[in-house]
Structure 1
Amino acid sequence: MSADAETPGRVAPAVLQPLVAAKTSRPRTIRGGVARQRLHDLLDAALGKPVTLICAGAGWGKTTGVSGWAQERGLPVAWLSVDRHDNDPQVFWSYLLAALRVAGAVPAGNPLADLVAVPADPRERGRLFAAGLARLPAGTVLVVDDLQEIDDADVLGELTDLLRHPPAPLRLLLIGRAEPPLRLHRLRAAGQLAEIRAEHLAFAPDEAAEIVGRHGLALSAEEMATLVDRTEGWATGLQLAATFLAGHDGTRTITDFTGDVRGVDDYLTEEVLADRTRRQRRFLLQTSICENVCAGLADAITQRTDGQRILEELEHDNDFVVRLGAKPLWFRYHQLLRDVLGHRLRLESPAVVPDLHRRAARWHAANNSVLEALAHAVSARDWAYVGRLVTTQAAPLMVSAHRPALVRILRGVPAERLTATPELMICAALLLFHAGDYDGIPARLYAARELLRDRPAGTREPVEIMSRTLQLSADRAAGDMPALLAGANRLVDLLGSARTVPVPAIAQHRAIALNNRGVALLWLDRTGEAERELWAGSYAARVAGVELAEINATGHLALLKVMSGSVREAATLAGGAVELAESRGWRYALQTVAAYFALALVRLERHDLDGAGQALREGLRGHHSDPEAAQWLVAVGVQARLAAARGDVAAARKFFDDARRDRHPRIRVPALDRWLARTEAAVDQAAGADPGGSEPLPLARAAFAKGDLRRAQSLLAEVTTAERDTVGRIESGILAALLADARGQPVHAADLLADAVTLAAGEDIRRPFLIPADPRLDALLQRARLLTPLVADFVGTLRPVRGEQPVESLSERETEVLRYLATMLTAAEIAADLGVSVNTVKAHMRSVYRKLGASRRTEAVTLARDSGLL
């Protein structure tokens, strides 16, 4: 070997020329490679800063991405690929200088141009390169690739010194798998560092489609999204996936592509795991049982105390370990790496896997992440612990956003194990609850209580609480409201003295109990108490995070309100419950049915028949999938009302006949029965038959229709004391106005109807004005429109006024002047009495004549009397 070859400080001696060429040549991208405009734009923007760090693990496309960008832009880029043999300052700086020269970036006259050998003295070398780099052409780009190979303290120190004051003409791009120890924090704080990480290098679906397409594969948009999600956009992973899928004539699917596929396993084992220390590798294997991991969880699993340090080391090295959030608290492993680790763990230490899951389960349970605890307990096949977790912590999640996840976990328990302990029998009952098999629940609960007999009193409490909670669902499904109320009361008392159930679970059970107590009180016709309990249940459910219970309580509040005539408030409550349900994907859950039925009743009162039909269909869909006896009767009433409103009285009658025939034998719902009786009476009357039952309002309407004004008046008097709801008051007011008009009291009739219209306008209620078939109502509505200017627009939306053009409303002052016109007072005297000028009175008189269609005073008085205005 020549002397030159043995002198590392000399620049590119002849024997080293091939190596120099290899190390200073920009890697060529494959022809037809993926055009990554998004990445290229990021690199363009990065040139605005002196230093750019491109940092990601193996196979993320760092080198090819930067090379493709340089090739596309046609930039003169100096490129240096370093390796472990470059951990010597003279060697490193020699190759760096060679890279600049190969790129033609060192012009004549530059201190570096005629350099034969890099100085051995660090200070002289530093001064020489600082001066030379400062005189490079503006915008010179230098890429240093595989920087993670440099670990020599002297090389890193001199590079750090250079970066303290980056040469103005130079744009330095550092590519590596790990964060380099170069004290880049100063550049970062000064805004002089651009950073491109794995999330920027990850392939988007459209970019990944090009990779897949080169293998002759045509995947749907959904399949591409799944593939990108599985690989997390990892370039090498996409290449391996495309090769895997193309290799078997379409017989393989994306779900078959996992980390334990040979190509992925080999790559990640060699490129990621091979360089890990023995402790790090063991740590990765053991903690791979978790989707996400933190220091406390890692320490519990590994039974050591170095979890935080190792997690931060792994994340720092970019070996497919991702920090979740800005702070180093939680981490996760790339999905494919986790597959590889799990496969290796099962091969190397299968016996410890259940133990690892047990440790993870207990850590999660202690930290109130109960679903994760359950999942690990199932993986450990620790069935007794699964049962204990469910009864003490997890069961109330069945009425929360976590219901699907809880059901999936419970279905992982073998069926034969569900009879082993009282707690596991509760799990079986929960699965019956989810399936809507309420008739099967009591038998499970009885068997669970039988197994409890030999237990110490202190260990029975969780099962007893769950047993009572589940019994509520069986009583409610049957419509047995006295039993439901008694059970809810017992549960509330038991919760008040509970000592062995965690506080969050107590709060969840209490919210469920309050909701059920409110429903029972509602249908037992104890409306005031029901409203208080339902409000309390809704709030408690929201605080406890059991949102299905919140939706159900709010839906029943809406039913209470609309059945009490508070239509506007009912619309707000029902709309809020439906919006929450739909946002959680529970559009057709049983707990949402009440809100949909309330919304249908609201729209019926507003005579929006299409909207009512749509809400009814949504509610029926949820009801049919999970029937409940009381809800079924509500559905009967809503369907009958809608059919009657559409003029199909026969269909409406059939709903009531079916309800009597198919009524659940245990159902006890007096308030609901009374509401249905009123609905049926209204349908009977619409059919021209005498209304059944003893409700005074339908009977009064029937008597009026037959001309029996005395009986109608007597029955109406009963209504005014018996009815308290808004709709009932409106209907009573309409009938009272018709009676007054029939008795020759037009002014009183107009006043009564005006009161009813004002009340209806406040709630946007229209249906009651469409029931009477008496033409007198048209004239009364016309008078109300004149006498009640504030609700004139609302009156105009009601039934059309036959034979008359719409009349402009009289103002309050014009109404006063009209009343004076029937007297013998002159305009001057009227003006004096009202305290206004004569001209003002005359102007009001002219306006009254115009609106009434009169030409003189006597004609205006006559028209006003005929229309009931006087």
Structure 2
Amino acid sequence: MSVVEGTSLAATKLRPPVPPGRFVRRSRLDDILDSGVDGHARLVLVSAPAGSGKSTLLASWLSGRPEAVAWLQAEESDSDPARFWSYLVEAVGQAHPAAAIDLKPVVAGSNGDDLVVVTALVNALAAVAGPLVVVIDDYHLIDNGSVQRGMERLIDLCPHQVTIVLSTRIDPPFRLGRLRVRDQIAEIRGADLRFDTDEASGLLGSLDRALLDQLCGRTEGWAAGLVLAGLSLERVTDPGEFVEAFRGDDQFVVEYLRDEFLATVDANDRRRLLETSILEQLSGALVDAVTGATGGARWLSDTAAVNQLLIGLDRTRTWFRYHHLFRDLLRLEAQQAFPERIPGLHARAAAWFESQGDHGQAIVHRLAAGDAHKAARLLLIHGQRLLAGGQTETLRGFLEQLGDVAKTLTWCALFYGWCEYIDGRYSRSESWLDTMADVAPEGFDHTPAISLRMNISLARGDVATALATARQVSATDQLMSYSCDLATATGAAYAWAGLADEARRALRFAAEKAAAERFRTAHVLALVYQAIVEFDSAASAQTAASTAIDTAQEFGLAAYHGVAPAYAIRARTGDDPARAHADATHALNLARRSSTDLALGFVLTACGDTLIGLGDAAGEPLLAEARSIFARCPDPGVAGRYLARTESRHGLAEAGNGRAAALVEQLTEREMAVLRYLPAEMSQRDIASELFVTLNTVKTHCRAIYRKLGVGDRKAAVQAAREADLL
């Protein structure tokens, strides 16, 4: 299949279908569409049932318009947010290549986050010179809430020179009433699309006008019904008798196509039609590969010339698709005619797509063929691309279709782990990593899973476990050999542990590696963690936070939740009260969207600290919320220490929770032995058992440790011990 360079995005999805050889220019509908664009309507909505002629209308109308066009043919698989926005960005890029260059990594890096992507897309569209019409055909196939929210926001914010056109069978879940009141919408409905007698005459040729009137009445002007009637009128000897019997409703169409159309076509044509019905799109080479015949290109061209139910997708007459109603019928017929051959047809299609490098379509057909193991082997390659592109919903869908096979393969378990982590289900993610370890063969390299393990630990607020892993990574050459996400996770672990020198080295390398790999989210996160490292020095922190924010804005990631700590740090270290308040508010809005406990607790603390300093009563509750979040974290690291210091400074906690300038008193050998167990998730009773002492002895040692470190609890003791180089 033709694909967009460097991606698995089908180019044929990004072009309007070619108008059929016989089509009618419907000026009354063109006028409605024209008025929508010329009147700068935010949305042009074409909403009507299947077979109403929506796509043909839009394609023919656009051929007469001067504006640049971005066309997207939606499919069910496009409900994955990252996949949808990637296609839409690529569609815009077909009209304005420069606009898409910076947007592609934003989509991938944010996993299709609607707030991030739409903000960047609106900014890019605002810079486009000249009017642009953005068309999404078959929008009813999109059923993802995030995409729906993003599209409604895009419609609200779109620059005046951009018009959004949606073709759909059902109305989108937007606040259409608001657009109508504001006169910001143009609409074409099913009743509008019904052909009248004059229009039907252009579609059907020289049929007697009385018969045309009768046929329009029987079909209610339904385009698909009229097209089918036209196919038969060329063969019948008595048009009047045919029109009298023809109805044109959905059930009749099914019966008609089966009993009249398929029964009369040549046997070879019928076989090709049924065999190729498994395909979403068709080319000559693909038809030949699936059917085992030759001459597929000529067959497609000849068929499309006489059958408007085979729709051309490009000007070169290379790619085609069946009308949806026709395709569905062909599939039903194929299932009845030769069900045992269908898996083999899918296998042939899969082999062809694999030979073309389109692993996504190859996986779809391998799964349809019932060959889960070959699909899984393809996913080893394609799954990495899906993760890199942020298409986790598509990846999860493939994994779920693999069923039990996914539980037996290391890479499938790892992909599942990443999907669960990104969705915030850390226990499930860790469980999949355990599965990966269980099924791994001897000598298997577990390094690709290390960054995920560190991210899970940090997400849970378990800095001690993440730090232990980071130290193991630093002791090898793994940072040099693997992708930037490993270096970023390692630097993050050091940053949250307060180990500044180690963090600076890892994060500097992470930022350089992310820039080289064009992994913009990892690049921004590395800069954000650098700001956290410098937090104790106001001037350095302000500079580092501003660098992170400026870079995020340059990359179109200013609305990415991962940037929240940088806004919080800039708020806390700045000297402009108005900007500090605005930064704190923005940081809170971002952090509450999708942040981990550690990052959210830190942002709440920094913003609470800032707002209290500005005299805002909203600050103190933020500190209380941070305290409740850190209470469930095994080891919140410097974030927990910062909260304790902030509460102490504002008179909200005992002064003993502040930073200790130095040890009050050296720890004894037995106290050091107990201290080494404090970062672990072990109770005092468990520690006593490990050290072969009584529970009371451990309690006594803990009280002494807290006193000597100048802290009031176990978590603060762990972080204070790190800062004193005792851990």
Which of 1 and 2 has higher RCO (CA within 8 Å, sep 6+)? 2
